[in-house]
Structure 1
Amino acid sequence: MLTEPPADEERLALEQAVAVAARARLAAGGRGSLDGDAIALRAVLGGMGPAEKAAVRAVLGRLEAAAGRPLVACGALAQVLAADRWGLAARPLAEADQALTAAREGARALIDLSTRPWWGRLLALPMLKVIAALPDDAAGSPRALMVSTETPGPTGDDRTFWVTDSAWPDARIVEALGQAGLAAEFLAGGGGLKLFVLTGYVQAEDPRLAGAPGGLTGVIGAAPVF
């Protein structure tokens, strides 16, 4: 004979509360502000351990995917990171150019940094900005960037992405930026271009970048850190 498992009313009540909260949050819609969402999320995650953070972010990510812009992912790592954060909502694309086109048409596109230096094209596509970078914890280095027509704002803890065509060694560029008051780290390179991460939210017209190395340079967006 099969033995029916004992009822666990307390756990069932907790799970029902999660379901009710998820429905209510989905019905409430988005805040309409990237920086507002990031600041609110940071407050929610405060004081949580790694397992708790992962669970909450998985739930909130799927709610975001259900109510937000369409998602596309280009590159094997981007697809894994997207699935972890937003479930299976992201449509896979083979080429970075396809992902950038989707972003111009209103989607959010997560693209591997290992997929050739596609990020250099953002210098010529000012309507597109980097709005997120995964992994997005302070201890990790970004492996994929999310691009959108949305404009990121300061959240109090951000990374800015800056491109240059300078032929100087990476360390010398970092040193020059440091002398200008900017903490920088080399992230990727290719096609005669280099991508650096600047600590904090740095605007394109920041005077500290006025004398930065390179003839073709520019800020291509910023992303919050959690």
Structure 2
Amino acid sequence: MARKHGALLEEPKVDNDRLVLDQALIEALTARLEAGTEPTPDASVIALRALLAESYDVHQSAMLRSLWGRIEARTGGPLVTAGPVAQVLAADRFGLSAQAVADSDAALAQVARGARALIDLGGPRPWWGKLLARPELRVIAALPDDRHGVPAALMVAATPTGPTGEDRTFWVTDSGLSDGKIVEALGVCGFVGKPLASVSGLKLFMLAGYVQAEDGRLNDAPGSLSGVIGSAPLF
């Protein structure tokens, strides 16, 4: 038997109780993967919130979010990313299963074929403005998605979403007014708005809550080319 610094090496002991727990964890995870994903993104969000409400501390919540994201990556449709920030955020939330594509155009083309795409908000092109002309493609998530963070990437899918109880809606306008004036005008219409991006004459705002694209109050909002492009849950 080998020696180390004059002492005999000891064979590590197996903790049988922990081994039983580990095996139960694997069996539960296998069964959950076989069960598939929720029928809609908002149903998945509501289910996750119910689990997070039972978490005892921030560490458990973080582990649950990470595990949930990887389950969604395994059971949901293909996931692509466009941009370095989206790639990092996707790896953190969904693991390394996402496929990087060249740009937002390539990402949206993949969405039209059934994939989900996480796309950087930063950049010289207002790709999110294209969703005004493509109502079949909607924003369904925004990362980071905590209530204190500012979204750096939007997830787009060809899947309708509904209210989850805690949401933010994304609205695009071509108004030439200043951000402050647009926020004021949105307030008059009954919305709480916050500027998020401005590129090439188009502006992207976040509206508090879930707002339907057909909400008549938006008829009086600034801009000749404007509209809702989707909503995302907050956690």
Q: Normalization by structure 2: what TM-score? A: 0.93
For 2:229, the aligned partner's letter is: I
CA distance in 1, matches of 2:147, 2:17: 36
Deviation at 1:64, TM superposition (A): 1.2
From 133, 138, 142, the equivalent of 1:129 is 138
Q: Equivalent of 1:198, from 204, 207, 230?
A: 207
The alignment's TM-score, normalised by the length of structure 1, stands at 0.96
Structure 1 residue 47 displacement after superposition = 4.6
Gaps of at least 5 residues in structure 1 are: none
Structure 2 match to 1:141: 150
Q: Where does 1:1-226 land on structure 2 (aligned, <5 Å)?
A: 1=2, 2-48=9-55, 49-115=57-123, 116-226=125-235
Q: Which moved more, 1:48-57 or 1:211-220?
A: 48-57
SS for the counterpart of 1:210 is helix
Q: Secondary structure at the match of 1:11?
A: helix
Q: Counterpart amino acid of 2:191?
A: L
C-alpha root-mean-square deviation of aligned residues, in Å?
1.2
Give the residue type in structure 2 aligned to 1:200. G
Distance 1:83 1:13 in 2: 30
Partner amino acid for 1:204?
A
Larger radius of gyration: 2
Query: Which structure 2 residue ranges, 5 or more long, are not aligned?
Result: 3-8
Percent same amino acid at aligned positions? 57
Cα 1:139/1:13, change in 2 over 3 Å: farther
Counterpart code for 2:10: T
- C-alpha offsets along residues 158-212 of structure 1, whole Å, 9 cap, x if unaligned? 0100000001000110111112111110001101100000010000111221100
Q: Counterpart in 1 of 2:6?
A: none
12-21 or 79-88, which moves further after superposition?
12-21
